[in-house]
Amino acid sequence: MTGPGTATRRGGRRFLHYGDLTDGSRLVTLLSSIRPDEVYHLGAQSHVRVSFDEPEFTGDTTGLGTTRLLEAIRLVGLQCRFYQASSSEMFGATPPPQDEATPFHPRSPYGAAKVYSYWITRNYREAYGMFAVNGILFNHESPRRGETFVTRKITRSVARIRAGLDDTVFLGNIDAVRDWGYAPEYVEAMWRMLQADEPRDYVVATGTAHTVRDFLGFAFAHAGLDWERHVRFDRRYIRPAEVDALVGDASLARDILGWAARTLPPELARIMVDADCAALDAAATTPTGDRPVAPAPVPRLGTPA
Ligand code: F7E
């Protein structure tokens, strides 16, 4: 909610409301007029590299923004359920596998701000009895992923190289290990957390470990390309402190929520490459002015596991 606003649905229509996580009084007026049953707090300055350049803004939005939202709920007297988008970045330097009992050791202003938000969410649960939960989500991707995050940067480059529009993509540390899942499945996990009988915090992850190098292999190979011919190193993408390895253990989510990841990184890379290639092909055959600006829609979810 640092941008144009929140969405509410009444009578089949969706409303966007302006609001900002740095504007506490606006959050109060918004919540008192919407009176939601469920609040999914996903707003943040969410780019880890950018958080080193804008640490204060990141702390204000990603950290204090959560307190403003929780406090607005409390002041309005809402009985709503609250979801906090906590992050695997909170684990930072603590080695994998990481679960709900793993100690935090954040390695960026973003990770530190998320740790603050995690604890303020728990504090409102314990102090005021709010149904407030932390979903500790590991990296979750889709064709809608922002273009500056590494998976989408790669799949977009694959599409452009395949189309002859580019030849090279510049990356930083390709030895970093991540646990990449498919975002629509993770949204389902978020929803399940708010339907549970008791408020608890959950790790959401696939439990698989891949390097950025692996993801390059999956994405380029899907387009019949050799990534080593097209990838160059650029030190500007190196972070002052790196998170070397994140691999989640989502056993609790499986046992209590009945949730498990279904899409693993090789398939995820194929979904994203296909969407970026299709968007580029559509742009090439659509008259200027009518060109699509968004990537292809994410496929609908099947029956939950
Ligand atoms: O980087 C390395 C980079 O920016 C992944 C956010 O959604 O997930 C995300 O955070 C890895 C890092 O995501 C480039 O150094 C190499 O090791 O895609 P990313 P992230 O930092 O893991 C967590 C769960 C969140 O909560 C965050 O909000 O890839 N890497 N070369 C690169 N990363 C980027 N962005 N660009 C590169 O050129």
pLDDT score recorded for residue 303? 28
Indicate the pLDDT class of residue 287, thresholds 50, 70 and 90. low
Decide: 120 in ligand 1 pocket, CB within 6 A.
Answer: no
Task: Please say whether the beta carbons of 42 and 194 come within 8 A.
Answer: no
Mean pLDDT, range 138-157, rounded to an integer: 98
Distance 244 CA to ligand 1 centre (A): 11
pLDDT score recorded for residue 286? 72
Question: Taking the CB of residue 133, how many other CB atoms lie within 10 A of it?
Answer: 22
Decide: 178 in ligand 1 pocket, CB within 6 A.
Answer: yes
Q: Whose CA is nearest to atom 20 of ligand 1?
A: 48
**For residue 195, what is the enclosing H or E element?**
helix 183-195
pLDDT in tens, 82-97: 999 999 999 999 999 9
Distance 78 CA to ligand 1 centre (A): 36
Which residues are identified as catalytic?
A: 87, 89, 110
pLDDT score recorded for residue 14? 86
Task: Please say whether the beta carbons of 274 and 210 come within 8 A.
Answer: no
Taking the complete model, does pTM exceed 0.95, yes or no? no
pLDDT score recorded for residue 28? 98
* Cα angle, residue 241 at apex, residues 235 and 245 outer, rounded to 5°: 100
CA distance 58 to 74: 24
Q: Provide the CB-side half-sphere exposure for 145 (13 A, CA).
A: 28
Residue among 48, 154, 216, 237 to mutate when testing ligand 1 (max atoms within 8 A of CB): 48
Q: Whose CA is nearest to atom 3 of ligand 1?
A: 173
Q: Ligand 1: which atom is nearest the Cα of residue 176? A: 17
pLDDT score recorded for residue 5? 54
Quick check: 79 pLDDT over 70?
yes
Question: Taking the CB of residue 257, how many other CB atoms lie within 10 A of it?
Answer: 20
Mean pLDDT, range 155-184, rounded to an integer: 98
Joined together, the tokens standing for residue 167 give 């030849």
Task: Please say whether the beta carbons of 156 and 146 come within 8 A.
Answer: no
pLDDT in tens, 15-66: 999 999 999 999 999 999 999 999 999 999 999 999 999 999 999 999 999 9
